[in-house]
Amino acid sequence: MKYSIDASSAQSAYMQLYLQLRHDITNSLYKYGDRLPSKRFLAAETMTSVVTVEHAYNILCDEGYIEARERSGYYVTYKKRDFFPVLEAEEKEVQITPSHYNRDESFPFSVFARTMRNVLSKYGEQILIKPPNLGSHELQRAISDYLARSKGIKVMPHQIVIGSGAEYLYSLLVQLLGRDRIYALENPSYDKIYSVYTANGIECDMLKMGKDGILTAELNKTRASVLHVTPFKSFPSGVTASASKRNEYIEWAAKRDGIIIEDDFGSEFTVSTKHEDTVFSLEPLHSVIYINTFSKTIAPSMRIGYMVLPSELVEVFLSKIGFYSCTVPAFEQYVLAEFINNGDFERHINRVRRRRRQEEINKGKQEVKL
């Protein structure tokens, strides 16, 4: 029997089946275009109902892993390393600004409330215990799995450092890399980046942007040894660095034994089906530190960010500043880990993306009418 349901588990039958199917899809046991077993076949195999199987399939459809074809069945639409491959190639990308959050975008209050209750029941008094300094192991593993699924970033959980937002993580990086370095930033860039670095005594060199990233001439002339970039939809320019530019950043770091800080805010909301490698995935061993946050994708009040260190920097981090306590409460970390592991985070992302896509379509229709 390929799929089975544990009747003694506290987890619902449809969620167990969904997680097993998602695992097989993301690990290429089912490839793009493959037809999944029929609802009746799976119901018989798992000794559940057709409704249970249908519920699991609906979740996979909602997340963009599969699609239903009338009178034909369910087919895999997930492509390995694609972001969330449910949208059409001609869709426009939508920029999310650092301060942007639309309260009408249906934050999943009921799902989040249920997740909180589940965490209280599951972990009990464990939520009162101070989490490890780098972050809870549960959240590190959840983020590690999510990055592998959605961005092709394959790292060990211990390479992930949890902190209360990107600004806090910038400050940690100053202590890790040292104040004697010059930091190069995109010009223009999100002003908070410059403010945090200068407040920490860092000299910043602002490098002019071209159509596909920082101009080569600017990279060549700077004396900086740290390069902070936002390759996906840089704010406020909206520029996305080309593949050749990302490799140019890596070559820049290699020539001067430098470090790249890849700030990936808001990339989850891109609606393009064209896969764009992160800089970290192109050079995961030595020179790139990856930063992202959940305050842009879930809510501004979700002050949880994380950075992924290259493996050779983990021990350096632990020896220099590993004594700092994690700034995110254990309860919030367990809730977020559960939210990710259950697939609710990806469902939320896809709902927002589809809504924005429809808004763009409607806007285009209105413009045509005018």
Segment 348-363 mean pLDDT: 75
Instruction: Quote the pLDDT of residue 134.
Output: 98
Reported in sequence order, the residue ranges of the chain that DSSP labels E, i.e. its strands, are 66-69, 73-76, 160-163, 182-187, 203-210, 213-214, 226-229, 259-263, 288-293, 305-308
Domain match, 71 and 154 both: no
Segment 359-364 mean pLDDT: 70
Domain match, 133 and 223 both: yes
Structural domain contains residue 52: yes
Domain match, 196 and 260 both: yes
Top-confidence residue, 277 or 90: 277
pLDDT (tens digit per residue) in 282-328: 887 789 999 999 988 888 888 999 999 999 999 999 999 999 999 99
Domain match, 197 and 256 both: yes
Instruction: Quote the pLDDT of residue 367.
Output: 63
Give yes or no for a contact between 22 and 345, defined as CB atoms under 8 angstroms apart.
no
Instruction: Quote the pLDDT of residue 238.
Output: 87
The region of weakest confidence among 8-12, 125-129, 195-199, 205-209 is 8-12
Domain match, 135 and 249 both: yes
The region of weakest confidence among 13-17, 22-26, 81-85 is 81-85
Domain match, 178 and 34 both: no
pLDDT above 90 as % of the chain: 57
pLDDT (tens digit per residue) in 136-195: 999 999 999 999 888 888 999 999 999 999 999 999 999 999 999 999 999 999 999 999
Structural domain contains residue 139: yes
Domain match, 117 and 69 both: no
Instruction: Quote the pLDDT of residue 55.
Output: 87
Structural domain contains residue 365: no
Q: Helix crossing, 344-369 with 50-63: angle to 10°? A: 60
Domain match, 151 and 58 both: no
Q: Look at residues 54, 76, 98 and tell me which one is the last residue of a structural domain.
A: 76
Beta-strand pair 203-210/182-187: parallel
Q: Look at residues 51, 76, 101 and tell me which one is the last residue of a structural domain.
A: 76
Residue 188: asked if its preceding bond is cis (omega within 30°), the reply is: yes
Structural domain contains residue 96: no
CATH number at residue 137: 3.40.640.10
Please count the residues of the chain: 370
Domain match, 53 and 159 both: no
Structural domain contains residue 187: yes
Domain match, 64 and 137 both: no
Domain match, 59 and 118 both: no
Beta-strand pair 226-229/182-187: parallel
Residue 19: band (very low, low, confident or very high) from pLDDT cuts 50, 70, 90: confident
Q: Which domain holds residue 68?
A: 13-76
Residue 95: band (very low, low, confident or very high) from pLDDT cuts 50, 70, 90: very low
Mean of per-residue pLDDT scores for the chain? 86
Q: Look at residues 29, 57, 76 and tell me which one is the last residue of a structural domain.
A: 76
Structural domain contains residue 303: yes
CATH number at residue 55: 1.10.10.10
Domain match, 65 and 187 both: no
Structural domain contains residue 364: no
Q: How many domains does the chain have?
A: 2
The region of weakest confidence among 77-81, 123-127, 134-138 is 77-81
Residue 106: band (very low, low, confident or very high) from pLDDT cuts 50, 70, 90: low
Within 13 Å and on the Cβ side, how many CA atoms surround 151? 26
Top-confidence residue, 349 or 363: 349
Structural domain contains residue 98: no
